[in-house]
Structures are given as C-alpha cells and as structure tokens.
C-alpha cells in the first residue's frame, strides 16, 4: 500500500485548498496578462480603475468558489439516503435502531425507530 493512502483528511483538504488557490492565482494572472495588465500598467492606472479591477478579480473568485461548492456537494439519492439519515440522527444526539420492515408493507426502503436519549 502506498504511503499517500495514509494521509489524514485534514492534510488532504489543506492540499486541495492550497492547490486550488495556487491554480486560481495562476489563472487570474493569465487572464490579466491576456488583457495586457501587468505590474507597470497597474501602477499607471487611476485609483478608480485599480479598485474596479480588484473588485472584478474578487467577484470572479467568489463566483468560482460558489460554483465549485455547488458542483461538489453531496446529493441525496435513494442509494445514499439511509446513510444521510443515520448521520442526521447521530448529529442531533438521538438514539436509533433499524427495525425490520413490517410484513405486507410496501414502499419502504428501511425502517428506523428513533428516540431521545435520556
């Protein structure tokens, strides 16, 4: 087994975030370079133009982040609904147990008995 398989989720998430930020800065630099904006031309701009350019870059970053989060969220499907319900029950500190589906009942994927912990 590879040593990379033993990386903690925190380190893995940190690498994803840092890699995403680095690539985002590279993309912003390429786009600005494409439009002819470099350090010297940025210094020659008026204060208003500099602020507008920075607002454009920030808004693109916010849009990109929102789009990334939207596309990567975990959708609930019939295949994963049971694990999501278990997660929600545990999050609220409730006690649960899986109960067999009653005989003759149709339309159930699973049945849980949920109660408050005392």
In the chain, the number of structural domains is 2
H or E stretch at 88: helix 81-91
Question: Do both 43 and 98 map to the same domain?
Answer: no
Is residue 65 one of the residues assigned to a domain? Answer: yes
52 located within any domain? yes
Whether 22 and 66 share a structural domain? yes
User: Is the same domain home to 91 and 55?
Assistant: no
7 and 64 within one domain: yes
Please give the pLDDT value at position 6: 64
pLDDT given for residue 81 in this prediction: 87
Q: What is the predicted pLDDT for the residue at 1?
A: 43
Does some domain include residue 30?
Answer: yes
Q: Does 110 share its domain with 57?
A: no
* 60 and 13 share one domain: yes
Q: What does the pLDDT profile of the chain (118 residues) look like in tens digits?
A: 445 556 677 777 777 778 777 777 777 777 777 777 777 777 777 787 778 878 888 888 788 777 777 777 777 888 888 888 888 888 888 988 888 888 888 888 888 888 887 7
Residue with tokens 């998430």, as numbered in its chain: 13
pLDDT the model gives residue 3: 57
Give CA–CA dist 62/43, Å, rounded.
25
Q: How many CA atoms lie within 13 A of 57 on its CB side?
A: 16
Same domain flag for 38 and 87: no
Spatial CA neighbour of 98 closest among 118, 82, 79: 82
Parent domain of 109: 81-116
Residue 76: inside a domain: no
């Amino acid at each position: 087994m590879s040593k990379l398989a033993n990386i903690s989720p925190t380190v893995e998430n940190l690498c994803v975030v840092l890699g995403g930020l680095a690539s985002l800065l590279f993309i912003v630099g390429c786009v600005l370079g494409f439009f002819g904006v470099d350090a010297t031309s940025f210094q020659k701009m008026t204060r208003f133009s500099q602020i507008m350019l920075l607002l454009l870059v920030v808004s693109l970053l916010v849009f990109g982040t929102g789009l990334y989060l939207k596309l990567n969220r975990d959708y609930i499907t019939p295949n994963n609904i049971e694990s999501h319900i278990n997660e929600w029950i545990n999050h609220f500190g409730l006690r649960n147990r899986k109960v067999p589906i009653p005989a003759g009942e149709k339309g159930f994927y699973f049945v849980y008995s949920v109660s408050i912990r005392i």
